[in-house]
Amino acid sequence: MAQTKYTYSIANDTLNGGVNEKLSDELNATAIVTTLDRIDTDDDVLDIYYADALSEGDETILTNAIAAHDNTKKEFKIYGCMRNPAYDKSEYPCAVNFKTDLMYRLHPKNTFTAGVLTKIEYYKDYDGTTYSDKILEEIIEYTYDSANLATSRTTSIYWYYTDESQSENCKTLLKYYTPTESIQESQRRRQNILDSLQLAIVGLIMQTESVDMATAMNLGAIFLDAYEHETKSWIITPNLYALQNRLNAEVTGETDYQWLFNPIGGGLTVRDYMLSQINY
């Protein structure tokens, strides 16, 4: 392997005639697999050193990346929300505590997947219906053991620039779970599933029974009250089979909850949908 230099004109070959520290991150983010050794600048000369010669295709990628490089410093939105913002609003806000350092509370928008909170988007404005002006977001990932209990959680925080683009880098937080915390997390997951299922049941009853929301909520409440023991047992223990078995034991024409057998499309019934959500 022989280190190879690629030379460009800063004035003529970059987007706006300048180079900043973001260039190395931008080059490392391309499809070029050859190691980037260093970047040197001298007046108008930009020298890019790779550990080995690039293929013709990779050299084209490099040239295109240089042409797209924008040395303008972008400002982070979060600084416009702070009591005492940094002088340089392009400074990466990794030290900012967005829950205590701001002039006002941001509005969180939560995304759940199978009862797991996987993303929280924080917005400056919310009118009760629409979120607007996203300031940052958290991406949350869990690792689980063979018993489906959480062992760790990784939270990646991405900040948004004033041009609405997302930060290239993120702040990463890692949490390890004790056995007690793992059990509590699994209970929260199942409770989240049940909460989501209650909303879905109301919607499906309205859709398939052609009733208003108040009537659907009443029918759903009667059902959940009758199934209270099984649902609590599932959330706390978890005793999955008691809840599944009772649902499976319902017989059309004999049940007090005939809407369970209403078709919802794809050959499925309301009960089929419920069973598909109660899966651990």
pLDDT tier for residue 72 given thresholds of 50, 70 and 90 = confident
Output the pLDDT for position 131.
98
Output the pLDDT for position 264.
95
pLDDT tier for residue 86 given thresholds of 50, 70 and 90 = low
Instruction: Supply the mean pLDDT for the chain.
Output: 93
Output 110 or 280, whichever has higher pLDDT: 110
Distance CA 60, CA 68 (A): 12
pLDDT tens for 227-266 read 999 999 999 988 889 999 999 999 988 899 999 999 999 9
Residues 6+ apart with CB under 8 A from 150: 142, 143, 144, 177, 181, 182, 185, 186
Tokens of 239: 């005793």
Counting residues of the chain whose pLDDT is more than 90, the rounded percentage is: 82
**If you average pLDDT over residues 132-148, what whole number do you get?**
96
Domain locations in the chain as residue ranges: 4-68, 77-177, 184-277
In the chain, what is the greatest distance between 2 CA atoms, to the nearest angstrom? Answer: 86
**If you average pLDDT over residues 166-181, what whole number do you get?**
94
- The sign of the dihedral angle between the CA atoms of 253, 255, 258, 261 is negative
Peptide bond into 85 cis (omega under 30): no
Tokens of 278: 């109660």
Output the pLDDT for position 90.
84
Burial of 95 (0-12, 13-18, 19+ CB in 10 A): exposed
Enumerate the β-bridge partners of residue 107. 123
pLDDT tier for residue 47 given thresholds of 50, 70 and 90 = very high
> Strand ranges (DSSP E) for the chain?
4-9, 36-42, 45-50, 107-113, 116-126, 131-144, 150-159, 171-176, 263-265, 268-269
